Amino acid sequence: MNTRRDFLRNIGASALMLQLNSLTTFADSSDHHEQPYQGKVLRVAIMGLGGYGTRFAEAMKDCTKAKLVGVISGTTSKIKDWQAKYNIPEKNCYNYDNFDQVKNNPDIDAIYVITPNALHHSQVIRVANAGKHAICEKPMALNAREGQEMIDACKKANVKLLVGYRMHFEPRTLEVIRMRNAGEFGKVMFFQGQCGFKAGDPKQWRLDKALAGGGSMMDIGIYALNGARYMVGEEPVWVTAQETKTDPVKFKDGVDETIQFQLGFASGAVASCLSSYNINHLDRFFLSGDKGFAEMQPSTGYGPIRGRTHQGELTQPVTIHQSVQMDEMADIILTNKKPVVPVNGEEALKDLKIIDAIYQAVKTGKKVSLTT
């Protein structure tokens, strides 16, 4: 099945080796691992053992503050395979019907929900009701109403709700944000975000509105939207959007093929973004200010992220995004660490409100005002 995972893997085996070699060099040349971590470890169960769940499980082998200890799946054979591969005890294995019983398991602290979009709402609420911290893949929900209900449920249960915004911890991305905060780009005037790939199997869940909640905008477009917000450093105040559909058989009603959307900010900055399931080689951010610029390509892929600014190439360490994400999220949950860019439910709700407005703008053809 061709998915965004496959697209992003097309960076190639050589790039992956470069990423791993760079990470090893960075680790060897720093004192990061000279003092073994002896603090508390976040014990995580993964819900949804598909391709991205597997990527996370592999990445967590390199975590120091988070550990994979449990699994939740509707497929018995996958549970058995993961038990053997990751040394997961039987008592930490659940299916979608009985995982509420995790409330009686003191050996699991958090559950990472990596299932189709339409399942996030009910599953996160069940995780909260079981008294466990919830980590959810993006988009957090199908719409802002669902997202607010998830936030409310986690607050009521006194557990944290975090969302898988891995780019919020990526070193080169954070350097661009630092430069912007320091005024090195001057007054930000323009952002461009391009995210897309050709979706493959027409029967995949991402092309099923009932499971995905939409099309490219819900899957890959959220990177451009979220990127516009953290690169510009403001919340948009209006949105316009247009949809292009060339294959209505593959991309049925409610499943967007390509959406162009524009954002306006109170400062006067504007953003022009593209989200597509039918255009390859789209993974680029560009930020322009009156004193400088930043360009990133690839900008949101699994790595290595590459970029340059008016000052030269970005040379921050290459990392395995999911490993860094989980260690950082462990700190957020266990020590209330405040990340540079939030990854909580409220952050995700802002994206959902704008996505709702984008779909409204597509439907009406009108500019939609945003309230945050």
DSSP letter string, 60-129: GGG-SSEEEEEEE-S-HHHHHHHHHHHT--GGGEE-TTTGGGGGG-TT--EEEE-S-HHHHHHHHHHHHH
List, by residue range, all CATH 3.30.360.10 domains of the chain.
Answer: 167-317+345-369
Q: What pLDDT, on the 0 to 100 scale, is given for residue 28?
A: 42
pTM of the model: 0.90
Q: Clarify whether 80 is annotated catalytic.
A: no
When the pLDDT of each residue in the chain is averaged and rounded to a whole number, the result is 92
Candidate list 165, 223, 277, 302, residue with the active-site label: 223
CATH architecture of 167-317+345-369: 2-Layer Sandwich (3.30)
Question: Hey, what CATH class is 37-163 in?
Answer: alpha beta
* Cβ neighbours for 219, distance < 8 A, ≥ 6 positions apart: 4, 206, 212, 277
Q: What pLDDT, on the 0 to 100 scale, is given for residue 34?
A: 61
Q: What pLDDT, on the 0 to 100 scale, is given for residue 371?
A: 78
Q: Clarify whether 138 is annotated catalytic.
A: yes
Candidate list 132, 138, 350, 353, residue with the active-site label: 138
Residue 319 has pLDDT above 50, yes or no: yes
Residue 221 has pLDDT above 80, yes or no: yes
pLDDT confidence tier of residue 13, bands split at 50, 70 and 90 = very low
- Rounded to an integer, the average pLDDT of 321-331 is 98
Residue 321 has pLDDT above 80, yes or no: yes
List, by residue range, all CATH 3.40.50.720 domains of the chain.
Answer: 37-163
